[in-house]
Amino acid sequence: MKEQQLYSKYDLLLPSKYDGGYLIIALYEKLKNREIEEYFTQKEINEILKDIAVDFNLDSVRQWSNIKDNLFHYFLRSHPDEPWKYYLTDYAKNVVDLMVSKLENPYKNHPLKKSVQDSFTIHHGEIKTIEELERKFGRIFIQGSKKIITDHLESLEDELREAYKELNDILRKEDEQSATSLVRDFTIVFRKFGERAEDITEAIISKDKFLGDLLNVVDHFYRKMEDDGKFDTDNVQKSKSDWERAQEIYTDIREFFNSVDQKVHIIRRQINHASEKLTELQEQFSARAFFRLQLKKLHRTILESSQYTAEGIRFSNNFPLKQVVYEPVRMLYPRYYEFELPKPNIIVNIEADETYERNEKQKIAKEINRQQIINQWVDKAKDILEGKGLLSVDELMNSIVDEEKDLSIAYQVASRMTAYTSENSNVFIDVEQKIISLSQQDLSLWKTRIMK
Protein backbone atom coordinates (compact mmCIF):
# COMPACT_ATOMS: atom_id res chain seq x y z
CA MET A 1 0.00 0.00 0.00
CA LYS A 2 2.83 2.38 0.85
CA GLU A 3 4.57 1.68 -2.46
CA GLN A 4 1.36 2.33 -4.40
CA GLN A 5 0.95 5.67 -2.64
CA LEU A 6 4.56 6.57 -3.45
CA TYR A 7 4.08 5.73 -7.13
CA SER A 8 0.81 7.60 -7.39
CA LYS A 9 2.18 10.75 -5.69
CA TYR A 10 5.64 10.75 -7.24
CA ASP A 11 4.86 13.66 -9.57
CA LEU A 12 3.53 15.62 -6.61
CA LEU A 13 6.69 15.03 -4.58
CA LEU A 14 9.08 15.86 -7.45
CA PRO A 15 7.37 17.81 -10.23
CA SER A 16 9.01 17.94 -13.66
CA LYS A 17 11.00 21.04 -14.56
CA TYR A 18 8.35 22.74 -16.74
CA ASP A 19 5.43 21.66 -14.55
CA GLY A 20 6.61 23.71 -11.59
CA GLY A 21 10.11 22.36 -10.85
CA TYR A 22 11.98 25.34 -12.31
CA LEU A 23 9.41 27.69 -10.76
CA ILE A 24 10.12 26.38 -7.24
CA ILE A 25 13.90 26.75 -7.76
CA ALA A 26 13.49 30.30 -9.10
CA LEU A 27 11.26 31.29 -6.17
CA TYR A 28 13.80 29.81 -3.73
CA GLU A 29 16.68 31.80 -5.30
CA LYS A 30 14.74 35.06 -5.40
CA LEU A 31 13.72 34.65 -1.76
CA LYS A 32 17.30 33.91 -0.80
CA ASN A 33 18.56 36.98 -2.71
CA ARG A 34 15.70 39.08 -1.21
CA GLU A 35 14.39 39.98 -4.66
CA ILE A 36 10.84 39.12 -3.56
CA GLU A 37 9.09 39.07 -0.20
CA GLU A 38 8.48 35.90 1.77
CA TYR A 39 4.80 36.13 0.81
CA PHE A 40 4.66 36.68 -2.97
CA THR A 41 1.80 37.29 -5.38
CA GLN A 42 0.55 35.64 -8.55
CA LYS A 43 1.94 38.56 -10.55
CA GLU A 44 5.46 37.75 -9.41
CA ILE A 45 4.87 34.06 -10.21
CA ASN A 46 3.77 34.91 -13.78
CA GLU A 47 6.86 37.10 -14.28
CA ILE A 48 9.11 34.22 -13.18
CA LEU A 49 7.36 31.84 -15.61
CA LYS A 50 7.98 34.31 -18.47
CA ASP A 51 11.67 34.58 -17.49
CA ILE A 52 11.97 30.76 -17.52
CA ALA A 53 10.54 30.65 -21.05
CA VAL A 54 13.07 33.27 -22.21
CA ASP A 55 16.06 31.66 -20.47
CA PHE A 56 15.39 28.23 -21.99
CA ASN A 57 14.27 29.46 -25.43
CA LEU A 58 10.74 28.17 -25.04
CA ASP A 59 7.74 29.51 -26.90
CA SER A 60 5.77 29.24 -23.70
CA VAL A 61 5.54 27.38 -20.43
CA ARG A 62 2.57 25.91 -18.66
CA GLN A 63 0.38 28.60 -17.15
CA TRP A 64 0.03 29.09 -13.43
CA SER A 65 -3.58 27.96 -13.50
CA ASN A 66 -2.51 24.58 -14.92
CA ILE A 67 0.25 23.74 -12.44
CA LYS A 68 -0.87 25.32 -9.19
CA ASP A 69 -3.11 22.42 -8.13
CA ASN A 70 -0.18 19.99 -8.10
CA LEU A 71 2.18 22.42 -6.36
CA PHE A 72 -0.32 23.13 -3.59
CA HIS A 73 0.02 19.56 -2.32
CA TYR A 74 3.57 19.94 -0.93
CA PHE A 75 5.38 23.01 -2.29
CA LEU A 76 3.14 26.09 -1.97
CA ARG A 77 0.58 27.39 0.51
CA SER A 78 -1.79 30.36 0.55
CA HIS A 79 -1.48 33.02 3.22
CA PRO A 80 -4.32 32.45 5.75
CA ASP A 81 -5.19 36.18 6.01
CA GLU A 82 -4.32 37.19 2.43
CA PRO A 83 -5.42 34.38 0.09
CA TRP A 84 -3.96 36.11 -2.97
CA LYS A 85 -0.44 35.71 -1.53
CA TYR A 86 1.58 32.49 -1.40
CA TYR A 87 4.67 31.16 0.36
CA LEU A 88 7.10 28.24 -0.05
CA THR A 89 6.71 25.30 2.34
CA ASP A 90 9.58 23.94 4.42
CA TYR A 91 9.47 20.80 2.29
CA ALA A 92 10.09 22.87 -0.87
CA LYS A 93 13.05 24.63 0.76
CA ASN A 94 14.50 21.32 1.97
CA VAL A 95 14.24 19.78 -1.51
CA VAL A 96 16.09 22.71 -3.10
CA ASP A 97 18.66 22.71 -0.29
CA LEU A 98 19.28 19.03 -1.02
CA MET A 99 19.89 19.83 -4.71
CA VAL A 100 22.26 22.69 -3.84
CA SER A 101 24.24 20.61 -1.34
CA LYS A 102 24.57 17.85 -3.94
CA LEU A 103 25.88 20.21 -6.62
CA GLU A 104 27.90 22.43 -4.26
CA ASN A 105 28.93 20.00 -1.55
CA PRO A 106 30.53 21.96 1.34
CA TYR A 107 32.99 19.13 2.04
CA LYS A 108 34.84 19.49 -1.29
CA ASN A 109 37.39 21.86 0.22
CA HIS A 110 37.40 20.25 3.65
CA PRO A 111 40.03 17.52 4.34
CA LEU A 112 38.69 14.07 5.17
CA LYS A 113 41.40 13.66 7.82
CA LYS A 114 40.11 16.69 9.76
CA SER A 115 36.53 15.39 9.62
CA VAL A 116 37.65 12.05 11.09
CA GLN A 117 39.77 13.69 13.80
CA ASP A 118 37.05 16.18 14.79
CA SER A 119 34.40 13.48 15.14
CA PHE A 120 36.39 10.43 16.26
CA THR A 121 39.12 11.27 18.78
CA ILE A 122 39.62 9.97 22.32
CA HIS A 123 41.95 11.91 24.62
CA HIS A 124 43.83 10.20 27.43
CA GLY A 125 41.65 9.79 30.53
CA GLU A 126 38.66 11.40 28.79
CA ILE A 127 36.27 8.44 29.25
CA LYS A 128 35.97 6.83 32.67
CA THR A 129 32.34 5.67 32.87
CA ILE A 130 30.02 3.90 30.46
CA GLU A 131 27.70 6.93 30.50
CA GLU A 132 30.50 9.14 29.18
CA LEU A 133 31.27 6.59 26.45
CA GLU A 134 27.63 6.37 25.35
CA ARG A 135 27.21 10.14 25.44
CA LYS A 136 30.21 10.60 23.14
CA PHE A 137 30.08 7.54 20.85
CA GLY A 138 26.67 5.91 21.40
CA ARG A 139 24.68 4.75 18.38
CA ILE A 140 22.25 7.70 18.60
CA PHE A 141 24.75 10.41 19.58
CA ILE A 142 27.19 9.49 16.79
CA GLN A 143 24.70 9.70 13.91
CA GLY A 144 25.68 13.28 13.10
CA SER A 145 29.39 12.42 12.96
CA LYS A 146 28.69 9.38 10.78
CA LYS A 147 26.69 11.53 8.35
CA ILE A 148 29.55 14.03 8.12
CA ILE A 149 31.98 11.27 7.09
CA THR A 150 29.44 9.75 4.66
CA ASP A 151 28.69 13.12 3.03
CA HIS A 152 32.41 13.79 2.83
CA LEU A 153 33.08 10.51 1.01
CA GLU A 154 30.17 11.16 -1.35
CA SER A 155 31.60 14.60 -2.13
CA LEU A 156 35.00 13.04 -2.71
CA GLU A 157 33.54 10.47 -5.11
CA ASP A 158 31.73 13.22 -7.07
CA GLU A 159 34.85 15.36 -7.25
CA LEU A 160 37.05 12.50 -8.46
CA ARG A 161 34.40 11.43 -10.97
CA GLU A 162 34.41 14.94 -12.46
CA ALA A 163 38.20 15.00 -12.51
CA TYR A 164 38.27 11.58 -14.16
CA LYS A 165 35.92 12.87 -16.87
CA GLU A 166 38.26 15.82 -17.44
CA LEU A 167 41.21 13.44 -17.85
CA ASN A 168 39.33 11.45 -20.48
CA ASP A 169 38.46 14.67 -22.34
CA ILE A 170 42.13 15.67 -22.30
CA LEU A 171 43.22 12.31 -23.73
CA ARG A 172 40.61 12.59 -26.50
CA LYS A 173 42.12 15.93 -27.56
CA GLU A 174 45.61 14.47 -27.86
CA ASP A 175 45.81 14.92 -31.63
CA GLU A 176 44.60 18.51 -31.41
CA GLN A 177 47.00 19.81 -28.75
CA SER A 178 50.74 19.90 -28.33
CA ALA A 179 52.50 17.65 -25.85
CA THR A 180 53.32 20.62 -23.60
CA SER A 181 49.71 21.78 -23.30
CA LEU A 182 48.53 18.18 -22.76
CA VAL A 183 50.99 17.64 -19.92
CA ARG A 184 50.06 20.97 -18.35
CA ASP A 185 46.31 20.24 -18.46
CA PHE A 186 46.83 16.68 -17.26
CA THR A 187 49.02 17.82 -14.35
CA ILE A 188 46.46 20.39 -13.18
CA VAL A 189 43.72 17.77 -13.01
CA PHE A 190 45.96 15.01 -11.66
CA ARG A 191 47.02 17.21 -8.75
CA LYS A 192 43.55 16.64 -7.29
CA PHE A 193 44.17 12.90 -7.22
CA GLY A 194 47.51 13.32 -5.47
CA GLU A 195 46.06 15.59 -2.80
CA ARG A 196 43.10 13.30 -2.22
CA ALA A 197 45.31 10.19 -2.02
CA GLU A 198 47.44 11.83 0.68
CA ASP A 199 44.34 13.02 2.54
CA ILE A 200 42.80 9.52 2.45
CA THR A 201 46.02 7.95 3.76
CA GLU A 202 46.18 10.35 6.72
CA ALA A 203 42.46 9.82 7.41
CA ILE A 204 42.94 6.03 7.49
CA ILE A 205 45.81 6.46 9.98
CA SER A 206 43.59 8.64 12.20
CA LYS A 207 40.75 6.11 11.93
CA ASP A 208 42.97 3.17 12.89
CA LYS A 209 44.36 5.09 15.87
CA PHE A 210 40.83 5.92 17.05
CA LEU A 211 39.70 2.28 16.83
CA GLY A 212 42.78 1.26 18.83
CA ASP A 213 42.02 3.86 21.52
CA LEU A 214 38.36 2.80 21.61
CA LEU A 215 39.37 -0.85 22.00
CA ASN A 216 41.58 0.14 24.95
CA VAL A 217 38.53 1.77 26.57
CA VAL A 218 36.52 -1.44 26.05
CA ASP A 219 39.38 -3.47 27.55
CA HIS A 220 39.34 -1.13 30.55
CA PHE A 221 35.70 -2.07 31.24
CA TYR A 222 36.60 -5.76 30.80
CA ARG A 223 39.45 -5.54 33.29
CA LYS A 224 37.16 -3.77 35.76
CA MET A 225 34.65 -6.61 35.40
CA GLU A 226 37.39 -9.16 36.14
CA ASP A 227 38.61 -7.21 39.20
CA ASP A 228 35.07 -6.92 40.58
CA GLY A 229 34.67 -10.67 40.10
CA LYS A 230 37.62 -11.22 42.47
CA PHE A 231 37.33 -8.44 45.03
CA ASP A 232 33.86 -6.84 44.74
CA THR A 233 31.29 -9.47 43.81
CA ASP A 234 28.36 -7.16 44.56
CA ASN A 235 29.32 -4.95 41.61
CA VAL A 236 29.92 -7.75 39.09
CA GLN A 237 26.57 -7.50 37.28
CA LYS A 238 26.90 -3.76 36.70
CA SER A 239 30.49 -4.14 35.50
CA LYS A 240 29.43 -6.90 33.11
CA SER A 241 26.58 -4.74 31.77
CA ASP A 242 28.99 -1.79 31.27
CA TRP A 243 31.41 -4.00 29.35
CA GLU A 244 28.64 -5.39 27.11
CA ARG A 245 27.41 -1.86 26.31
CA ALA A 246 30.96 -0.74 25.54
CA GLN A 247 31.41 -3.78 23.29
CA GLU A 248 28.21 -2.90 21.39
CA ILE A 249 29.43 0.68 20.83
CA TYR A 250 32.78 -0.59 19.53
CA THR A 251 31.08 -3.12 17.20
CA ASP A 252 28.76 -0.44 15.79
CA ILE A 253 31.60 2.01 15.07
CA ARG A 254 33.83 -0.73 13.67
CA GLU A 255 31.09 -1.83 11.23
CA PHE A 256 30.62 1.80 10.18
CA PHE A 257 34.34 2.17 9.46
CA ASN A 258 34.28 -1.13 7.55
CA SER A 259 31.75 0.45 5.18
CA VAL A 260 33.98 3.53 5.04
CA ASP A 261 36.95 1.31 4.10
CA GLN A 262 34.94 -0.18 1.24
CA LYS A 263 34.12 3.26 -0.14
CA VAL A 264 37.73 4.38 0.29
CA HIS A 265 38.85 1.26 -1.59
CA ILE A 266 36.68 2.28 -4.56
CA ILE A 267 38.09 5.81 -4.45
CA ARG A 268 41.65 4.45 -4.34
CA ARG A 269 40.89 2.35 -7.42
CA GLN A 270 39.82 5.51 -9.24
CA ILE A 271 43.05 7.23 -8.22
CA ASN A 272 45.16 4.24 -9.32
CA HIS A 273 43.30 4.11 -12.64
CA ALA A 274 44.02 7.80 -13.17
CA SER A 275 47.70 7.07 -12.52
CA GLU A 276 47.55 4.40 -15.24
CA LYS A 277 46.11 7.03 -17.59
CA LEU A 278 49.12 9.23 -16.87
CA THR A 279 51.43 6.31 -17.65
CA GLU A 280 49.59 5.76 -20.95
CA LEU A 281 50.09 9.41 -21.84
CA GLN A 282 53.82 9.16 -21.09
CA GLU A 283 54.11 6.06 -23.27
CA GLN A 284 52.33 7.84 -26.12
CA PHE A 285 54.73 10.78 -25.83
CA SER A 286 57.73 8.40 -25.78
CA ALA A 287 56.51 6.55 -28.91
CA ARG A 288 55.87 9.82 -30.72
CA ALA A 289 59.33 11.17 -29.78
CA PHE A 290 61.00 7.93 -30.91
CA PHE A 291 59.22 8.08 -34.26
CA ARG A 292 60.36 11.68 -34.82
CA LEU A 293 63.93 10.73 -33.92
CA GLN A 294 63.88 7.96 -36.52
CA LEU A 295 62.63 10.42 -39.13
CA LYS A 296 65.52 12.76 -38.31
CA LYS A 297 68.01 9.90 -38.74
CA LEU A 298 66.49 9.03 -42.09
CA HIS A 299 66.62 12.64 -43.23
CA ARG A 300 70.30 13.00 -42.22
CA THR A 301 71.22 9.78 -44.00
CA ILE A 302 69.46 10.94 -47.17
CA LEU A 303 71.36 14.24 -47.13
CA GLU A 304 74.71 12.51 -46.56
CA SER A 305 74.12 9.94 -49.32
CA SER A 306 72.81 12.22 -52.10
CA GLN A 307 74.16 14.80 -54.53
CA TYR A 308 72.60 17.23 -56.96
CA THR A 309 73.34 16.72 -60.69
CA ALA A 310 71.96 18.13 -63.95
CA GLU A 311 69.62 15.21 -64.12
CA GLY A 312 68.41 15.85 -60.59
CA ILE A 313 69.17 14.34 -57.22
CA ARG A 314 71.17 11.10 -57.31
CA PHE A 315 71.94 8.80 -54.39
CA SER A 316 75.38 7.31 -53.92
CA ASN A 317 76.19 3.83 -52.60
CA ASN A 318 73.07 2.43 -54.24
CA PHE A 319 70.99 4.13 -51.53
CA PRO A 320 68.58 3.06 -50.20
CA LEU A 321 69.44 -0.57 -50.97
CA LYS A 322 72.53 -0.67 -48.78
CA GLN A 323 72.40 2.32 -46.46
CA VAL A 324 69.09 2.28 -44.65
CA VAL A 325 68.31 3.42 -41.13
CA TYR A 326 69.05 0.42 -39.00
CA GLU A 327 69.29 -0.18 -35.31
CA PRO A 328 69.92 -3.65 -33.83
CA VAL A 329 67.14 -5.02 -31.69
CA ARG A 330 68.12 -5.44 -28.05
CA MET A 331 66.52 -8.31 -26.20
CA LEU A 332 66.55 -7.77 -22.46
CA TYR A 333 65.63 -10.79 -20.38
CA PRO A 334 66.34 -11.96 -16.83
CA ARG A 335 68.76 -14.85 -16.33
CA TYR A 336 66.41 -16.62 -13.98
CA TYR A 337 62.67 -16.50 -13.78
CA GLU A 338 60.39 -18.07 -11.22
CA PHE A 339 57.39 -19.54 -13.03
CA GLU A 340 55.55 -20.67 -9.92
CA LEU A 341 52.75 -18.47 -8.70
CA PRO A 342 53.46 -16.67 -5.43
CA LYS A 343 51.87 -18.32 -2.46
CA PRO A 344 49.26 -16.09 -0.82
CA ASN A 345 49.63 -15.14 2.78
CA ILE A 346 46.99 -16.87 4.89
CA ILE A 347 45.85 -15.53 8.22
CA VAL A 348 44.99 -18.38 10.57
CA ASN A 349 42.64 -17.49 13.37
CA ILE A 350 43.84 -19.49 16.38
CA GLU A 351 41.08 -20.49 18.75
CA ALA A 352 41.45 -19.56 22.39
CA ASP A 353 42.97 -22.27 24.62
CA GLU A 354 40.76 -22.08 27.69
CA THR A 355 42.82 -24.57 29.69
CA TYR A 356 46.04 -22.64 29.07
CA GLU A 357 44.31 -19.36 29.85
CA ARG A 358 42.93 -20.74 33.13
CA ASN A 359 46.33 -22.13 34.17
CA GLU A 360 48.07 -18.85 33.40
CA LYS A 361 45.50 -16.88 35.39
CA GLN A 362 46.00 -19.25 38.32
CA LYS A 363 49.77 -18.70 38.13
CA ILE A 364 49.26 -14.94 38.10
CA ALA A 365 46.84 -15.10 41.04
CA LYS A 366 49.31 -17.30 42.98
CA GLU A 367 52.17 -14.89 42.33
CA ILE A 368 50.05 -11.89 43.39
CA ASN A 369 49.09 -13.72 46.60
CA ARG A 370 52.77 -14.55 47.23
CA GLN A 371 53.76 -10.88 46.84
CA GLN A 372 51.02 -9.84 49.25
CA ILE A 373 52.32 -12.32 51.86
CA ILE A 374 55.88 -10.96 51.43
CA ASN A 375 54.63 -7.38 51.89
CA GLN A 376 52.72 -8.39 55.03
CA TRP A 377 55.85 -10.01 56.58
CA VAL A 378 57.98 -6.98 55.66
CA ASP A 379 55.48 -4.69 57.40
CA LYS A 380 55.44 -7.02 60.43
CA ALA A 381 59.27 -7.02 60.56
CA LYS A 382 59.34 -3.21 60.43
CA ASP A 383 56.81 -3.07 63.29
CA ILE A 384 59.04 -5.38 65.39
CA LEU A 385 62.04 -3.18 64.61
CA GLU A 386 60.13 -0.03 65.56
CA GLY A 387 58.74 -1.57 68.76
CA LYS A 388 61.79 -3.44 70.12
CA GLY A 389 64.58 -1.62 68.29
CA LEU A 390 66.15 -4.98 67.41
CA LEU A 391 65.33 -7.59 64.78
CA SER A 392 67.09 -10.97 64.48
CA VAL A 393 67.09 -12.07 60.86
CA ASP A 394 67.50 -15.82 61.58
CA GLU A 395 64.57 -15.79 64.03
CA LEU A 396 62.44 -13.87 61.52
CA MET A 397 63.25 -16.38 58.75
CA ASN A 398 62.49 -19.35 61.02
CA SER A 399 59.11 -17.83 61.90
CA ILE A 400 58.27 -17.30 58.24
CA VAL A 401 59.31 -20.81 57.21
CA ASP A 402 57.34 -22.38 60.08
CA GLU A 403 54.17 -20.48 59.16
CA GLU A 404 54.31 -20.21 55.35
CA LYS A 405 56.27 -23.43 54.55
CA ASP A 406 58.10 -21.51 51.82
CA LEU A 407 61.83 -20.74 52.08
CA SER A 408 61.73 -18.33 49.11
CA ILE A 409 59.29 -16.05 50.98
CA ALA A 410 61.63 -15.95 53.98
CA TYR A 411 64.55 -15.16 51.70
CA GLN A 412 62.65 -12.31 49.96
CA VAL A 413 61.66 -10.78 53.32
CA ALA A 414 65.24 -10.94 54.57
CA SER A 415 66.49 -9.28 51.37
CA ARG A 416 63.88 -6.52 51.69
CA MET A 417 64.89 -5.78 55.29
CA THR A 418 68.59 -5.76 54.35
CA ALA A 419 67.81 -3.22 51.61
CA TYR A 420 65.75 -1.24 54.15
CA THR A 421 68.88 -0.70 56.29
CA SER A 422 70.68 0.77 53.25
CA GLU A 423 67.88 3.24 52.56
CA ASN A 424 67.55 4.54 56.18
CA SER A 425 70.50 6.17 57.92
CA ASN A 426 69.07 5.57 61.41
CA VAL A 427 68.90 1.80 60.92
CA PHE A 428 72.06 -0.34 61.36
CA ILE A 429 72.95 -3.93 60.56
CA ASP A 430 75.28 -6.07 62.65
CA VAL A 431 76.74 -9.21 61.05
CA GLU A 432 78.56 -11.63 63.35
CA GLN A 433 80.70 -14.36 61.75
CA LYS A 434 78.75 -17.10 63.40
CA ILE A 435 76.94 -19.62 61.22
CA ILE A 436 73.27 -20.10 61.99
CA SER A 437 71.36 -22.97 60.35
CA LEU A 438 67.64 -22.69 59.77
CA SER A 439 65.58 -25.47 61.29
CA GLN A 440 64.52 -28.19 58.83
CA GLN A 441 66.05 -26.21 55.95
CA ASP A 442 69.24 -26.79 54.00
CA LEU A 443 70.39 -23.18 54.45
CA SER A 444 72.97 -21.49 56.69
CA LEU A 445 73.70 -17.78 57.20
CA TRP A 446 75.74 -15.44 59.36
CA LYS A 447 74.12 -14.29 62.55
CA THR A 448 72.61 -11.01 61.55
CA ARG A 449 70.81 -8.37 63.64
CA ILE A 450 69.11 -5.15 62.53
CA MET A 451 69.04 -2.33 65.10
CA LYS A 452 67.78 1.22 65.46
CATH number of the CATH domain containing 63? 1.10.10
Query: Number of folded domains in the chain?
Result: 3
pLDDT value at residue 40: 87
Query: According to the model, what pLDDT value does residue 438 have?
Result: 64
Structural domain contains residue 316:
no
Query: What is the predicted pLDDT for the residue at 440?
Result: 62
Residues 48 and 30 sit within 8 Å (Cβ to Cβ): yes
Based on the domain organization, do 173 and 274 belong to the same domain?
Answer: yes
Last residue of a domain, one of 302, 320, 343: 302
pLDDT at 443: 66
Confidence of residue 108 (pLDDT cuts 50, 70, 90): low
More confident of the two residues 158 and 93: 93
Mean pLDDT of 191-212: 74
Domain annotation covers residue 308:
no
13 has a pLDDT exceeding 60: yes
Strand runs labelled E in 57-116: 76-78, 85-88
- 55, 77, 103 — which closes off a domain? 103
pLDDT at 1: 46
Highest mean pLDDT among 76-80, 164-168, 394-398: 76-80
Supply angle C-alpha 59, 74, 16, rounded to 5: 30
On whether the CB atoms of residues 76 and 92 are closer than 8 A, the answer is yes
**228 part of a folded domain:** yes
Q: In this predicted structure, which of 189-193, 204-208, 368-372 has the lowest mean pLDDT?
A: 189-193
Same domain, 116 and 33: no
- Domain-ending residue, one of 71, 103, 135: 103
Q: Specify which residues 430 forms β-bridges with.
A: 449
Inter-residue contact 75 to 91 (CB < 8 Å): yes
Q: pLDDT class for 183, splitting at 50, 70, 90?
A: low
Is 162 found in the same domain as 26? no
> Does the pLDDT value for residue 17 go beyond 50?
yes
Considering the domain architecture, whether residues 96 and 144 belong to the same structural domain is answered as no
Q: Is residue 311 part of a domain?
A: no
Q: Is the bond into 320 cis (omega within 30 degrees of 0)?
A: yes
Q: What is the mean pLDDT of the chain?
A: 77
Judge whether 326 lies within some domain.
no
For residues 200 and 135, membership in a common domain is answered with yes
> What is the pLDDT, as a whole number, of residue 389?
83
Question: What is the mean predicted confidence (pLDDT) over 65-69?
Answer: 80
Q: What is the pLDDT of residue 179?
A: 58
* Cα distances (angstroms) measured from residue 29 to each of 86, 94, 96, 234, 385: 16, 13, 9, 64, 90
List the domain range (segments joined by +) for residue 292: 112-302
Mean pLDDT score, 148-164? 75
In-domain check, residue 270: yes
**325 domain-assigned:** no
CB 195 within 8 A of CB 159: no
Percent of the chain with pLDDT over 90: 0
Q: 67 and 135: one domain? A: no
